Amino acid sequence: MKAFIIDKYTKKDGGHIGQMPAPEPQADEVLVEVHAAGINLLDSKIRSGEFKILLTYKTPFILGHDVAGVVTKVGPAVQKFKVGDEVYSRPADYRIGTFAEFIAVKEKDLALKPKNLSMEEAAAIPLVGLTAWQALIQKGNLKKGQKVFIQAGSGGVGTFAIQLARYMGATVATTTSAGNTALVKSLGADVVIDYKKDDFERVLSDYDLVLHSQDAKTLEKSLRVLKPGGKLISISGPPDPDFAKEAGVPGFVKLLIRILSAATRRKARKLNVGFSFLFMKANGNQLTEITALIHSGIIKPVMDKVYPFSEIKEAITYVESGRAKGKVVVKLK
């Protein structure tokens, strides 16, 4: 089958389209013919080896974390899906490979595709949707009437998280450029800060929750806009000891993570606020709950560009540029 293959970790122009054997689904897996696949910054970071200490993929491997497609085969233990079903998923770590004509996905990581979305729109949802869900609901325990600061509101995670927070009844603040102000307001942002000219720390205070996706300097400032007892959940690092324990990494990696996150955890304790790192997990049940919100019109995908599969390198480069409004997708069918 045709696939986008990573032969070695490299920061520049890595990967190529070539041929790989089509997967054979295991007993609890579903074989999906890929129609569209979402591009995420995570793909770039894995290609470059940035996450190699946490997620080590043996080369050659197929990249890709978002998929929408059609079931072509089911394992004997599969009960919820049948051949012909339109589905979508963020496959589990070490089971990735959506930049290909076929992928085998665990039944528990799969959900039926929202009927009111195209394949391309559906492929834009799983990773960012699950990230926002796990950050705001599962970890953040966001409640009606609380205040949440969602950084980079016009990005993939940001556009989804703003809509989810609005649905939950929170007051939403975000950062973006002036040109994207109308977009984030249309999604439900109440307070919009132009990061190019305004300092969010001077505008925001006493927030209950921060969804952090930027650099270390922004993280430190974000801790200071929280009220005592508030929480910051970071999806861009540094990883914390709880994550290391949950991920089951080797002892030396646990020690390294403890050292790397020590300063941030110390600052959080001093301010009497919480800090935690989120590396989202595949979850078909949560994706099914997201599907219900999409069907009801509460959540809508925000799309920037759709590339043909032959231009997948250009698509990844565009995502790396940080200019995308919402999600970028490659089309295979």
CATH 3.40.50.720 boundaries in the chain: 128-277
Share of the chain above pLDDT 70, in %: 100
Give the range among 10-19, 209-218, 268-277, 280-289 with minimum mean pLDDT.
Answer: 10-19
Beta pairing, strands 110-112 & 102-106: unpaired
- pLDDT at position 231: 98
d(CA 43, CA 319): 10
CA contacts within 13 A on the Cβ side of 304: 20
Containing 308, the helix (H) or strand (E) segment is strand 303-308
Q: How many helices (H) and strands (E) does the chain have?
A: 11, 16
pLDDT digits (tens, 9 = 90+) for 84-96: 999 999 999 999 9
- pLDDT at position 53: 84
Give the pLDDT band (50/70/90) at residue 54. Answer: confident
CB 52 within 8 A of CB 9: yes
Q: Which CATH number is 2-125+301-331 given?
A: 3.90.180.10
CB 285 within 8 A of CB 308: no
CATH architecture of 128-277: 3-Layer(aba) Sandwich (3.40)
| pLDDT higher than threshold 90 for residue 8 | yes
Q: What are the structure tokens assigned to 134, written together?
A: 């796990």
Using CA atoms of 321, 310, 92, 184 in order, give the dihedral in degrees to the nearest 10: 40
CB 235 within 8 A of CB 280: yes
- pLDDT at position 207: 98
- pLDDT at position 58: 94
> How many residues in the chain?
333
CATH 3.90.180.10 boundaries in the chain: 2-125+301-331
pLDDT digits (tens, 9 = 90+) for 297-331: 999 999 999 999 999 999 999 999 999 999 999 99
- DSSP code per residue over 119-156: HHHHHTSHHHHHHHHIIIIIIT---TT-EEEESSTTSH
Overall average pLDDT of the 250-266 stretch: 95
- pLDDT at position 266: 98
d(CA 229, CA 240): 18
d(CA 310, CA 304): 18
pLDDT digits (tens, 9 = 90+) for 148-202: 999 999 999 999 999 999 999 999 999 999 999 999 999 999 999 999 999 999 9
Q: What are the structure tokens assigned to 27, written together?
A: 């007993």
| pLDDT higher than threshold 90 for residue 71 | yes
CB 26 within 8 A of CB 324: no
| pLDDT higher than threshold 90 for residue 137 | yes
Place of tokens 């989810």: 164
Overall average pLDDT of the 73-90 stretch: 98
CA contacts within 13 A on the Cβ side of 25: 22
305 CB contacts (<8 Å, ≥6 apart)? 315, 318, 324, 328, 329
- pLDDT at position 249: 87
CA Rg value for the chain? 19
| pLDDT higher than threshold 90 for residue 247 | no
Q: What are the structure tokens assigned to 137, written together?
A: 């609901």
Give the pLDDT band (50/70/90) at residue 268. Answer: very high
- pLDDT at position 12: 80
| pLDDT higher than threshold 90 for residue 248 | no
